[in-house]
């Protein structure tokens, strides 16, 4: 990335997978990336999928998207549903996906949010196996066309990068997901350094 300060916005919602969110935040902050957690709910405090309450930095409506380099969507079935119903989230994801200099990342169930907007149409992606059919269907789900051939090539990899879209398979892939984002934004040397410091074997 060319800008001096790299900024990531991580969306938070009730029912999100806590570890997918916070581990990604942790790794990116270790890399020196400015991370803003943004609640899509009506208050900054969200309740994660296992009833852990977490306070976001800002409400999503108040985040400064013009200064952000990447949007990140954690998974969790209910959390993903809350993200998908947010016009701000889907609108900003479509905008970032169309900007070749910025990125969108989603893990576990959350790639289905991108898929429903058409962002993943014609791309390669991964997701939690329970959401494979929905992700593969791409924008045909929102169009109500159940008979269309798969629009998304599902890789079943831990992490898949296609252009400026990064997708992760699930909770167990979160370290790879976070380090992949780190490598893209801050360089492989930084990703390798963090992997070594946390005793993690990164590719």
- Low pLDDT (below 50) residues in the chain: 1-2
Residue listed under structure tokens 């208050």: 43
pTM of the model: 0.94
Element (H, E) at 37: strand 34-39
Per the annotation, the verdict on 93 as an active-site residue is no
Given this model, what pLDDT does residue 202 score?
78
- Cite the DSSP H helix spans in 118-152: 132-137, 140-143
Each residue's pLDDT tens digit, 56-65? 999 999 999 9
* Residue range 7-197, CATH number: 3.40.50.880
Q: How far is CA 144 from CA 59, 108, 114, 138, 140, in A?
A: 32, 23, 16, 11, 6
**What are the residue ranges spanned by the domains of the chain?**
7-197
Run of H or E including 9: strand 7-12
Identify the DSSP state of 74.
-
Catalytic residue among 108, 127, 180, 199: 108
pLDDT in tens, 92-120: 999 999 999 999 999 999 999 999 999 99
A 10 A CB-CB count for 27 gives: 24
The pLDDT score that the predictor gives to residue 1 is 47
* Three-state secondary-structure class, residue 8: strand
Element (H, E) at 159: strand 159-162
Identify whether the C-beta of residue 158 lies closer than 8 Å to the C-beta of residue 169: yes
Query: Among the residues of the chain, which ranges form H helices?
Result: 18-30, 77-84, 87-97, 111-117, 132-137, 140-143, 174-186, 188-197
Which residues, other chains included, contact 120 with Cβ-Cβ below 8 Å and sequence gap of 6+?
A: 111, 114, 135, 138, 151, 152, 165, 167
pLDDT for res 142: 57
> Which residue in 159, 109, 148 sits closest to 129, CA to CA?
109
């Amino acid at each position: 990335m060319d800008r001096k300060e790299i900024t990531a916005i991580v969306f938070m919602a009730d029912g999100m997978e806590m570890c997918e969110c916070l581990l990604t935040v942790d790794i990116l902050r270790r890399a020196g990336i400015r991370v803003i957690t943004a609640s899509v709910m009506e208050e900054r405090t969200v309740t994660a999928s296992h009833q852990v309450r977490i306070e976001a930095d800002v409400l999503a409506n108040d985040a400064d998207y013009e200064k952000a380099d990447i949007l990140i969507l954690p998974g969790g079935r209910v959390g993903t549903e809350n993200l998908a119903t947010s016009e701000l989230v889907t609108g900003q994801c479509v905008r970032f996906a169309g900007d070749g200099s910025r990125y969108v990342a989603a893990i576990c169930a959350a790639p289905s949010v991108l898929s429903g907007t058409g962002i993943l149409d014609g791309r390669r992606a991964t997701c939690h196996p329970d959401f494979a059919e929905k992700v593969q269907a791409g924008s045909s789900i929102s169009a109500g066309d159940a008979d269309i051939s798969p629009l998304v090539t599902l890789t079943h990899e831990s992490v898949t990068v296609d252009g400026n879209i990064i997708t992760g398979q699930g909770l167990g892939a979160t370290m790879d997901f976070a380090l992949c984002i780190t490598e893209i934004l801050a360089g492989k040397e930084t990703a390798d350094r963090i992997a070594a410091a946390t005793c993690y074997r990164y590719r």
